[in-house]
Structure 1
Amino acid sequence: MATIKLERGTKGANMFRKFKVFIDDDCVGKIKRGERLEFSVPEGTHKIYCKIDWEQSNTLTVNAPAEGVDLLVNSKGASESSFRSLIPVDGRDKYLVLIQR
């Protein structure tokens, strides 16, 4: 088994709300601001993304080795969030950002 470690940063809007965490299209939990979660998965390739309401992060495809993989998710800042609510976007600008460390 491998471990996917996911940390949620403290940046951005929605500080009091949880993000849903999806691994291979299954909701495996919720993460709150400043929290760090670990998920046991079989070694190999997995798709990971987070959601809040109708907004979804980018999808990462990671190869999870036995020693695990480290990820970080954040939402955009408050000013960026306000701008997005006023101006329609083309879908390439994600509200939540998921990165591998």
Structure 2
Amino acid sequence: MNAVVRGGQRILLSRARGGWQDCLRAYVVFIDGREVGRIRRGRQLEWAVEPGTHTVKLTVDWCSSESALVTLAPGVDARISCRPGGSGGRGNLGRALADTGQWIELTRC
């Protein structure tokens, strides 16, 4: 398992500002299965990691994003954005219970 380290490449994560879904809640950020921080609306965080393949996943309560594989070559950073998944409209409780792994959307920038 790759570890979060000082120096090396960076994983930069930004969270969209808009929408009401999860507007008051921070998403818990995991890199390679280890909790490394929490991100709120309109914020950007970054972590230094070694070159190679890393897994990024976000959670909030019992819901999460799908795991995203990020491969970093030496000298290359990865930019990822996150936002609430789905439409944010009616039916979110049903979606939260049925599709818990797609509550948060991760996109490679």
TM range (shorter): 0.7 to 0.9
Instruction: Report if aligned partners of 1:4, 1:71 keep a CA contact under 8 Å in 2.
Output: yes
Instruction: Report if aligned partners of 2:53, 2:70 keep a CA contact under 8 Å in 1.
Output: yes
Separation in structure 1 between the aligned mates of residue 83 and residue 15 of structure 2, nearest angstrom: 6
Q: Which one of the candidate residues 70, 78, 83 is aligned to 1:74? A: 83
- Three-state SS of the structure 1 residue aligned to 2:91 is helix
Structure 1 segments, 4+ long, off by >2 Å, are: 86-89
TM-score by length of 1: 0.87
- Three-state SS of the structure 2 residue aligned to 1:39 is strand
TM-score by length of 2: 0.81
Question: Percent identity among equivalent residues?
Answer: 26
Separation in structure 2 between the aligned mates of residue 4 and residue 98 of structure 1, nearest angstrom: 13
Indicate the RMSD between aligned Cα atoms, in angstroms.
1.8
In structure 1, list runs of 5 or more residues that go unmatched: none
TM-fit CA distance, 1:10: 1.8
- Three-state SS of the structure 2 residue aligned to 1:85 is helix
Separation in structure 1 between the aligned mates of residue 101 and residue 63 of structure 2, nearest angstrom: 11
1:33 aligns with 2:47: no
Q: Which one of the candidate residues 6, 10, 33 is aligned to 1:3? A: 10
Aligned residues: 98
In structure 2, list runs of 5 or more residues that go unmatched: 1-7
TM-fit CA distance, 1:93: 6.5
CA 1:18–1:93 in structure 2 vs 1: closer, same or farther (change >3 Å)?
closer
Separation in structure 2 between the aligned mates of residue 92 and residue 19 of structure 1, nearest angstrom: 14
TM-fit CA distance, 1:60: 0.5
